[in-house]
Amino acid sequence: MATLRRDRDAIDGKNLHKTVDNQTGVASTVALDQACRESDILCRSLDAALCNLYRDNPEKLAAWKSAVRLERPAKTGKKAEMPEPPAAPAAPAAAPTA
Nearest-angstrom CA–CA distance, 67 and 53: 16
pLDDT of residue 54: 92
* pLDDT tens digits in sequence order for the chain, 98 residues long: 788 788 777 787 777 667 767 777 777 888 888 888 898 888 889 999 999 999 999 999 999 888 887 666 766 665 555 566 666 555 555 555 65
Nearest-angstrom CA–CA distance, 88 and 84: 12
pLDDT of residue 90: 58
pLDDT of residue 59: 94
Angle between the N-to-C axes of helices 58-68 and 2-53, in degrees from 0 to 180, rounded to the nearest 10: 160
Helix H or strand E segment including 87:
none
